[in-house]
Structure 1
Amino acid sequence: MTTTPHPLVTRARRLAHDLLVPHAERVDQEGVPASHVEAVKRAGLLGVVGPKEYGGADAPVAVARETAEILAGACCSTWFVQTQHHTPVKLLATYDSPVREQLLRPLATGELLAGIAFAHVRAFPRAPVRAVPERGGWRFEGTVPWYTGWGLNDVMLLAGVTDTAEVVFVVAGAREQSGLSASAPMRLAALTAARTVSLELDGLWVPEESVVLRTSQEEFALVDLPRAANASPAVFGVASAALHLVARAPDGEETARSLRSRLDEVRREAYALADHPVPHACVPDRLAVKTRAYDVLRAATTAAIVAGGGRSMDLGSRAQRLAREGMFLLVQGQTAEARRTHLGSLASG
């Protein structure tokens, strides 16, 4: 028996085939164009997790994962820009706030694109960005080390930590303004195309009406831990794309088949753990499976390089691009616990 794919999955596959894959090497060198974001928007993919009553698709989590795999495997830079958008949508949908009624619909429909500026909160007790109450709002001071999608995003979800270890999430305009300036785009070994900058906050003031959530640092860490321990769908998307190259190469079919079997197995385990009814359960198991997913990703992208031979050293090589994207995924969203687990696994062989 076969089932009809969800419409968003069908659109994601069409977008990948018609636009993202044919232009991925050029985008890797030149940057994600606004036209790619518009294409993702037209496909309805910016609203995959948005509530229906606000114009989103409210798709099942399996659909959100599959569309993420497809986009990441086709053009990881485009995936990375648009994946930032879904966290503000989910947060606004979950917590009632004045800014929810103002922004959730344009975000869920894709009229606006959002980015995120809060990974630095994981550095606690260091507080790279401080939030200070001031004049009916909040003043932000410090440095956001990484911000992706600069020049493409309309708004950003920004977080700072108060003197009492409270995390304050606000929505602010993603543009140069009083108290906010951006560095030059970073030149990175992978995903330079995603337009990543650092942000300097020198008294950026945001009104109270723009607050999405205030929570203790302990509560933030409790929610963030299992989420950060789960394997990213992008890992499976990039690995699958690499195995597609391997399968097409001379002498590569058997290798691709073996690695595909390993990939499918770890994917099933990872998603089963992510769907555990107790959100904070099985964190060590999640981290162990995430590390195994990295192992298969590394093997798949290495196999693509080997299968491509000397051609893989050309910057225009698809195998090389996928290998560099795989390297990026090893550290994307990395926590201290994930790093310890991964390093321990590598040390034990």
Structure 2
Amino acid sequence: MTTAAHPLLATARALADGLLAPHAARVDQEGVPQGHLDAIKRSGLLGVSAPPEYGGSGAPDAVAREVQEILAGACCSTWFVQTQHHSPVRLLTQTDLPARERLLGRLASGESLAGIAFAHVRAFPRVPVRASAERGGWRFDGRVPWYTGWGLNDVILLAGVSEADEVVFAFTEAREQPGLRASAPMRLAALTAARTVALELDGLWLPEDAVVLRTPQEKFALLDRPRNTNASPAVFGVAYAALQVLEDAGEFETAGALRGRLDEVRAQVYDLAEHPVPYERVPERLALKTQSYDLMRAATTAAVVAGGGRALGLDGTAQRLYREGMFLLVQGQTTEVRRAHLDALAEI
């Protein structure tokens, strides 16, 4: 693991070791508690990438990646709720629309926690959510199939596609309101604790000053591509946590062999993430992503094998990490990523 001296890394490790990891088994079964998110809000981690003048730290992307890695390895459910927050912060940082001054300070300082409802835009030319100009604002209709953090987040970054194939991003409060209704929380094989729901939109109207970005769908797709072709830091966080389980079981040889390979792939992934053109070298990014998946799967499987029957108890760390790894295989998945992963698996 990197030993960079940025103070937020020490903060993340202290939070992971002192709060998140000790309670991860209970959270997995009972749900992410508000107290976990309150601690993250107070820590300053929600503003890791935000400008200092808005209450953030303006830390390098390398620090932001490692913070996410640390949190995911400690409690993947809590990580998944808070990780949604960073896309809205980055988007607000890049705009000069009125929403920036109204929201960026609240999000960067940790006063408010944001969730995201825009993954469905990647289904284009299918349009699950339509945005229509109406009454000096925008009307949203359709269904958001996945929204994480319901009941925990304060605001939602919502997106829909207009008749002109323009993607419209706007903020609204994360609560039921006229035109917005949430389903019952989904029960999933992993990360049920993150409180994921579907959102039904039936004439949700938002004013023009709620809009943070309007961009052609083709441009959005180009800029969005790196989010999915690069391996997630969470994959490394879960893999390293599984290797710690192996070492605790005395399986140092297996853990050491896997750790060496994981360190190497992680370094390549993070080096490529710093490439100045984020949507270039896509085949290389996808190859490294599938290698990262392979190593995470090997590490979590090894942790289960080392634990034997005891590893299958719902309070066991190994089985939880194994299920969290399964979730990460499909988190943020696109057709391109799925095809690359399946092709790689076919060659094993």
Range class of TM-score, shorter chain: over 0.9
**Letter in structure 1 aligned against 2:43:** A
Find the counterpart in structure 2 of residue 117 from structure 1.
Answer: 117
Aligned ranges 1:337-348 → 2 under 5 Å = 337-348=336-347
1:118-153 deviation digits (Å, cap 9, x = unpaired): 000000000000001000000000000000000010
Q: CA deviation at 1:7?
A: 0.8
Secondary structure of 1:53's partner? helix
Aligned mates of 2:115, 2:257 — CA distance in 1: 38
Distance 1:196 1:99, change over 3 A: same
Secondary structure of 2:176's partner? coil
Aligned ranges 1:193-272 → 2 under 5 Å = 193-250=193-250, 252-272=251-271
Q: CA deviation at 1:281?
A: 1.1
Q: CA deviation at 1:274?
A: 1.0
Find the counterpart in structure 1 of residue 135 from structure 2.
Answer: 135
Q: CA deviation at 1:227?
A: 2.4
TM-score by length of 2: 0.98
Aligned mates of 2:53, 2:283 — CA distance in 1: 37
Aligned mates of 1:84, 1:226 — CA distance in 2: 16
Find the counterpart in structure 1 of residue 306 from structure 2.
Answer: 307
Find the counterpart in structure 2 of residue 279 from structure 1.
Answer: 278
Matched, 1:84 2:84: yes
Distance 1:70 1:133, change over 3 A: same
Q: CA deviation at 1:91?
A: 0.1
1:179-229 deviation digits (Å, cap 9, x = unpaired): 000000000000000000000000000000100000011001100112210
Q: CA deviation at 1:46?
A: 0.7
Aligned mates of 2:282, 2:237 — CA distance in 1: 23
1:236-271 deviation digits (Å, cap 9, x = unpaired): 000000000011214x11000000001001001111
Q: CA deviation at 1:3?
A: 6.8
Find the counterpart in structure 2 of residue 97 from structure 1.
Answer: 97
Unaligned runs of 5+ in 1: none
Aligned mates of 1:95, 1:242 — CA distance in 2: 40
Matched, 1:68 2:68: yes
Aligned mates of 2:195, 2:227 — CA distance in 1: 25
Secondary structure of 2:159's partner? strand
Find the counterpart in structure 2 of residue 319 from structure 1.
Answer: 318
Secondary structure of 2:333's partner? coil
Secondary structure of 2:142's partner? strand
**Letter in structure 2 aligned against 1:261:** G
The alignment of Structure 1 onto Structure 2 pairs a total of residues equal to 347
Aligned mates of 1:4, 1:225 — CA distance in 2: 28
Larger deviation, residues 307-316 vs 117-126 = 307-316
Q: CA deviation at 1:109?
A: 0.2
Aligned mates of 1:165, 1:134 — CA distance in 2: 16
Q: CA deviation at 1:340?
A: 0.2
Distance 1:238 1:6, change over 3 A: same
**Percent same amino acid at aligned positions?**
70
Aligned mates of 1:310, 1:242 — CA distance in 2: 16
TM-score by length of 1: 0.98
Aligned mates of 1:4, 1:331 — CA distance in 2: 30
**Letter in structure 1 aligned against 2:332:** G
Secondary structure of 1:326's partner? helix
Secondary structure of 2:84's partner? helix
Q: CA deviation at 1:4?
A: 6.2
Q: CA deviation at 1:6?
A: 1.1
Aligned mates of 1:269, 1:3 — CA distance in 2: 17
Across the aligned residues of Structure 1 and Structure 2, the Cα RMSD in angstroms comes to 1.0
Find the counterpart in structure 2 of residue 165 from structure 1.
Answer: 165
**Letter in structure 1 aligned against 2:129:** V
Aligned mates of 1:203, 1:164 — CA distance in 2: 19
Find the counterpart in structure 1 of residue 155 from structure 2.
Answer: 155
Secondary structure of 1:127's partner? coil
Aligned mates of 2:248, 2:194 — CA distance in 1: 29
